[in-house]
Amino acid sequence: MANPLLSDRNVEFLLREVFDTAGLLELPAFADHTLEGCEMYVQNARKFAREKLYPAYKPMDEAPARLEGGQVYVHPLMRELYPRMVELGTITATRPASVGGAGLPIFVATLANSYLMAANLSAYGFFGLTTGAGRLLESFGSPELQQRYMARMYSGEWTGSMALTEPHAGSSLTDVKTTAKETEAGHYLVRGSKIFISGGDHDMTDNVVHLTLARIEGAPPGIKGVSLFAIPKKRFVDAAAGAGALVPNDVQVAGLIHKIGWRGLPSLALNFGEENDCHGWLVGEPHRGISYMFQLMNEARIMVGLNGVSTASVAYQESLEYARTRPQGRPLTAKNPDAPQVPIIEHADVRRMLLRQKAIVEGGLCLVATAARFNDVAEHGATKEEGADAFALLDVLTPIVKSFPADYVFV
């Protein structure tokens, strides 16, 4: 039997019985949605995940992206999946109608995304990153940057990436060294090297917008001197008007980083400004880059936790099917050595291990869904107090959600 990825009954249990989804939809921000509409969104994601994404997982993992002549080429299956996932609404499901989104609760999108991630985390990665990059511009970018970059990422015309990490600056982003020099034309000239940039280049769309941390010349040292920039792989010839043909913006792919797993999503080393011609546009105010990142930290933590839960779920379903079909040994009470072997799921210790997996997956999904629901109320609570209470609870919960993959699955 094909791997079902998640237990539908469990997802429906969360949607209909554990959480008061109908109550959530009474908040003014979700007034346009019905419970049936939310269920349909989850069902569409489930169907697509099972029929299209999961069958592409193995081929994409076996033949990862290639780097040729400075250009990254993804697996042909990923190129086919990309427009279908845009159509499914994956990028803008939770964004408001004012920016072209469906305005669904993050809680509902979380349940839908659990199927997409369980089926093919690499394919989902392009979308999670694009939403994240667009979201930074939606929250902190100028109307021009929103029109030029956010709108094109939200429509799926271009994708986005997060370019934070440098060879010497991983956990410690305080040590970011990439520099940005202001010009009279309104843009900055950016120079520096980034590593581990997921989805930082590909051949699915004409352009990639890198939301990049860099230090403006003369900025204070440490965390309070790091700014956020939008840096496209290709810029418009008429940069001031955001119009005309697209020309290279001096962003070079320096190398492909090989990974164990999650190989369908390229991870790259990028060099900005090797020819001193990389144009970047400041997002928000100078020196506030890290604080902008942190304001979206709770959503990022929910996504990372869901990665872990979804991966654990698809592994559990694999174990379950194997245990149901692998014959080995006989029950302890069987006296006849010629009696047929039983499937290993009949053995108490195998059942114990399967139940442990099941408890981790179901408890983990419930935990992530709880955080997602708090996030919805924190952002859209009916009263200020309701929102503040949910935000406080979310802040307590998300560090636990984020550590889910490491603490509960792999240990």
Ligand X SMILES: Cc1cc2nc3c(=O)[nH]c(=O)nc-3n(C[C@H](O)[C@H](O)[C@H](O)COP(=O)(O)OP(=O)(O)OC[C@H]3O[C@@H](n4cnc5c(N)ncnc54)[C@H](O)[C@@H]3O)c2cc1C
Near ligand X in 301-330, by CB under 6 A:
none
Return the number of the residue (162 or 278) whose C-beta is nearest ligand X: 162
Using the contact rule CB under 6 A, the part of the chain among 48-56, 138-146, 157-165, 379-387 near ligand X is: 157-165
> Is residue 171 part of the contact set for ligand X (CB under 6 A)?
yes
* Contact flag: residue 163 with ligand X (CB under 6 A): yes
Site for ligand X in 78-117 (CB under 6 A): none
Stretch that binds ligand X, among 161-169, 318-326, 371-379, 384-392 (CB under 6 A): 161-169
From the CB of 68, what's the least distance to ligand X, in Å?
21
Residue 46: phi, psi to the nearest 5?
-60, -45
Rg from Cα positions in the chain = 23
Of 25, 85, 119, 162, the one binding ligand X by CB under 6 A: 162
HEC string of the chain equals: CCCCCCCHHHHHHHHHHHCCHHHHCCCHHHCCCCHHHHHHHHHHHHHHHHHHHHHHHHHHHHCCCEEECCEEECCHHHHHHHHHHHHHCCCCCCCCHHHCCCCCCHHHHHHHHHHHHHHCHHHHHHHHHHHHHHHHHHHHCCHHHHHHHHHHHHCCCCEEEEECCECCECCCHHHCCCEEEECCCCCEEEEEEEEEEECCCCCCCCCEEEEEEEEECCCCCCHHHCEEEEEECEEEEECCCCEEEEEECCEEEEEECCCCCCCCCCEEEEEECCCCCCEEEEECCCCCHHHHHHHCHHHHHHHHHHHHHHHHHHHHHHHHHHHHHCECCCCCCCCCCCCCCCEHHHCHHHHHHHHHHHHHHHHHHHHHHHHHHHHHHHHHCCCHHHHHHHHHHHHHHHHHHHCHHHHHHCC
The residue type found at 122 is S
Given the structure tokens 């917008």, which residue do they identify? 209
When binding is defined by CB under 6 A, the residue of 165, 205, 311, 313 that contacts ligand X is 165
**Contacting residue, 56, 88, 109, 164, with ligand X by CB under 6 A:** 164
Taking the complex as a whole, the smallest distance from the CB of residue 214 to ligand X amounts, in Å, to 12
CB of 164 to ligand X, least distance (A): 3
Q: How far is the CB of 205 from ligand X (least distance, A)?
A: 17
Our finding on whether 21 is near ligand X (CB under 6 A) is no
- What is the closest distance, in whole angstroms, from the C-beta atom of residue 389 to ligand X in the complex? 31
Q: Which of 11, 65, 180, 197 binds ligand X (CB under 6 A)?
A: 197
Q: Which of 252, 250, 249 is nearest to 275 (CA)?
A: 250
Of residues 122 and 317, the one with the C-beta less far from ligand X: 122
**Residue 208 in the binding site for ligand X (CB under 6 A):** no
Note whether 222 binds ligand X by CB under 6 A.
no
d(Cα 411, Cα 408) in Å, to the nearest integer?
A: 6
Shortest spacing between CB 243 and ligand X, in angstroms = 29
Residue from 154, 188, 196, 404 binding ligand X (CB under 6 A): 196
The least distance separating ligand X from the CB of residue 162, rounded to whole angstroms, comes to: 4
Whether residue 312 contacts residue 410, with contact meaning beta carbons closer than 8 Å, is answered with no
Point out which span in 20-28, 140-148, 195-203, 358-366 binds ligand X (CB under 6 A): 195-203
Residue nearest to ligand X (CB): 170
- For residues 231 and 209, the answer to whether their CB atoms sit within 8 Å is yes
Give me the least distance between CB of 391 and ligand X, in Å please.
25
Binding test (CB under 6 A) with ligand X, winner from 55, 170, 327, 399: 170
Min dist CB 67 to ligand X, Å, is: 16
Q: From 38-46, 54-62, 193-201, 273-281, give the range in contact with ligand X by CB under 6 A.
A: 193-201
Instruction: Write out the binding residues for ligand X, residues 254-293 only, by CB under 6 A.
Output: 262, 267
Work out how close the CB of 35 gets to ligand X at its nearest, in angstroms, rounded to a whole number: 35
Q: Which residues bind ligand X (CB under 6 A)?
A: 161-165, 170-171, 196-198, 262, 267
